Structure 1
Amino acid sequence: MDPLSALRDFTVRGELDKIVRVGDEFRFGSDYTFPCSAETAYRSKQGNLYTLETLVYYVKNHHIKHTEYLQSARTQRIPAVTLPDRKPLLEYLQGKVASTDAIEFVVPQNPKIPDIGVDAVDEYRPEDPTLLAIRDPPGSEDALDNSRVRGFDNVDYISMIRASERPLKDRESLLECKQRDFYSVLMASTRREEERHRLESHQRKDGLVAKSRLMGADERGLGFWKDGDELGYDGTPKPKMLLNRSKIGEGVPIILVPSAFQTLITIYNVKEFLEDGVFIPTDVKAKQMKGAKPDCVTVQKKFSRDRVVMAYEVRDKPSALKTEDWDRVVAVFVLGKEWQFKDWPFKDHVEIFNKIIGFYMRFEDDSVESAKIVKQWNVKIISISKNKRHQDRAAALEVWDRLEEFVRSRSHT
């Protein structure tokens, strides 16, 4: 019996505990013994034949999570079963399916073809059905020719050739390194990125406290400024750039976003979109942040890499705003639902979008019906692609341009 069939037989019977490794061999009770490195007939989707050692280790550990299984196999220095192969392989070994296309029982690479001569025709006639069809008398010239032709026709040369072939590389194996697992690299990189974001958040928070105090000082009255205005060493405009702030509350301006996940821009992904021009789906970003939803996020419009033009606070809880905080609200990303504006200190939509600029984010191929209500409001509709991430930056710049234009007009009214 071949190693794969023996392993399937013991798995179906629930006798995996009788498969014991002794040195470089696996002993299947007292029935069979195979080398650990023996190739089985089960071919991976990556093209290689799994060894008996790999299959035995997998079938005995299939119940654990794939990431834990990979780490354990790597520790034991045993090649692992890939994720796409796990389910079909287990179903075959447990007897849930009778066969699978992944199984390739090897045809002998050098099959011995009997040299049937005149004297051997009678000897092979009882066993060889191809010779039973020969009606020429033994020893005749026709019988000899027919036996040779039929004997060679019975050999499947295509199967012999395919059995000898071994794929060297495919598009999946080209992206992999043997004996390497990039899961730990990904986790380490993610942790470093999260730590960087935390440090930047603390730095921005400390800077904004000082900036808010400066902006609230009567003698300076610092307000919004345009790209190209001369900035001081600390990133704030020099005192000569004084603008009228009477129509905008003192302090850092506020942008409101919906708290619902069904909108494209939320407090989870607003920073990457406005600062970096990259749209990351909310559910993806929330998983990266491990569900730790921030109360407030600071976004910055930059004149260059190291020169900040303006900073904004982004919040998603309007009910937590104080009366004086509403004077600092300059923009809102709308959900397209009336209840978003419940208990807002304005009498109607006309007053809201006269004092606050509204943005509605949508995918460019969404139906017109999704924006039917929004089109009745005085808001700016910004469209992005579902798949073409390189177009996100243009959409983010459009938001900044319209926001700054609105702020300038509001500051001078």
Structure 2
Amino acid sequence: MGILPDPLSLLRKYIISNEDIVERGNLIFFGEFSFSKNVKTNYLMWRDPRAGIKEYYTLECLLYFLKNVHLVHAVYVRQAAAENILAVRRPDRTQLVAYITGKTSDCSSIDSSAILEIPTRVKRTHDDDEIVNSVSKRPRIEYAQIQKVRLQLSTRLEVTKAEVMVANIKSEVDQGCVANSNRYKINEYYDNNNDLDFRAILDDDMNNLIHQERQSRTRTTVLQSNGKTFYGSVISLFQAKVPKVSTDTYEVAKPMGKPQPYSRYDQEKFITNNELEDFKIDTTGTYQGMILKSVVEGKNTCARTSNDSSQLLPIPRTPATSKSRTPIIIIPAAPTSLISLYNVRDLLQDLKFVSVQQKKDTGAVRENEVILQRRKGDDNSVTVPYRVVDDPSRLSAADWDNVVAAFVLGNAWQFKGWPREGNPAEIFATICAFHLKLEEMKLDVRISRWAVNVLTLSRTKRHLDRGVLGRFWETLDKHMMTKKPHLRF
């Protein structure tokens, strides 16, 4: 046997789960448990600390308070006094509401040592369950619908005058008496049986209506026409669209005789007049008495007309190569540069600084040029190629149009052989320039005078590399959007 719940715990449980609490007479029902309204809970009333008497709130007091918790305290006290119910004191309001509604799991005003009354378990009989279930399953029908069903039921049981004449069974007087008696019986049955199954009556009336329905047209009769046949119209339409095929152009196949045996000396029968006509070859011709020019150009070179041009074979043309849209980045080839072909993939693709000496120590091989795969998108699922070179002399005029960025060191000789006569001011107007340095290195004076974006890296704090090198791509995207929008980026 489990531990029986106390009234305060049941009240809190039913309020939190929003279940119904039933008050009947002098009892309060919590499902199968019932308590008297005057039963005391273990919730202490607020009192003077000097007083030694403990007083507890009753179950009726707490339930009434929860029903009227929205009222002002003064109004609630007057209303409770008018109904002769003990009121909850003002200092207990906030703490009591928080505990009952589940906002707090414990309360200091609960006396765990208080003696509690055992609840009474309510037993429900099987007949009561059947009554409750039948009431809950009974369909709800409005009063107007009930009156309509009663009228239909009484009308259906009446026998009309026409039916009496056809059946010739009863007279009109008897018919009226039978109808009145039937109506009286129906009303008496309805008054004594309130649980009449109106839904069954409505279903019966609907079935009668369905049986009386007749289809005027179906999907087959809709397609039928009484005054016109569509066969002739459709056939004439097809005959007008299909072209007539003449049988005069076809030769009747002659019946084949017995197959003749093959003879290697009987090849003349396979020779046709137009066998060499397409190739313009004269098998009986000779080059005797002709000069070399006539042999090379042919006899009828000058006699060709525009009509023979259609017979000439077309001259194959080499397809024009499409212009590359891959951006190009130029980096210095000097050994003192922080960026080179050894570590450019680590810097610009992985956004992490690795020195050139570290790459050489790991056995990295220097390439002539590097193709970077820049990852873009929210999930880095899109890659854009960038070509990186350190020898500008190998670039063609078309390649210089694809140069979008250059890393500079501050030396004027770096721009020797570049377009615009190697003038940095004019070069940086179309090419975005960058300078990479460590934070303890001093900035070159010429770099500060040019329009160069300086990227400063820390020698030891590698977690800052991604933010610094990420600004390289942000600046380059803005530059390409205005200066090189035709390239892929």
TM-score of the pair, normalised by structure 2: 0.32
TM-score of the pair, normalised by structure 1: 0.38
Higher relative contact order (CA 8 A, sep 6+): 1
